[in-house]
Amino acid sequence: QPIGALLLEHCRITKEEENVFSISFIEEPERKYCFECDSEEQCQEWIEALKRASYEFMRRSLIFYRNEIQKMTGKDPLEQFGISEEARFQLASHKQ
């Protein structure tokens, strides 16, 4: 059974030692959670998966692919959903 949940925003994932990684938070650097894996390979898989799980990573990916699609097709792929002008889906340089 899970004993809790961690919100992965503004966190730092660090390789500690063999088969061990930690999650700490930028706002609370003294709060640190260590996790031990069965193997080094499993440890690396967890680290990569956790880094990709954050909202900011997904937002940046969406912006990147949105811009690539727009370059290729000339159309904004988010326009059909009525969210093409939302600031959270804009590059920092395009924010007003």
**For residues 77 and 69, is the Cβ–Cβ distance under 8 A?**
yes
Q: Please state, in angstroms and rounded to a whole number, the distance separating the CA atoms of residues 42 and 35.
A: 11
Quote the pLDDT of residue 45: 96
pLDDT-derived band at 19, boundaries 50, 70, 90:
very high
Dihedral sign from CA coordinates of 72, 73, 76, 82: negative
Q: Where are the domains of the chain?
A: 11-76
Tell me how many helices (H) and strands (E) the chain has.
Answer: 2, 3
Name the pTM for this structure.
0.61
Give the tens place of pLDDT for each residue, 23-79.
Answer: 999 888 888 999 999 999 999 999 999 988 877 788 888 889 988 999 999 988 888
The letter for the amino acid at 20 is V
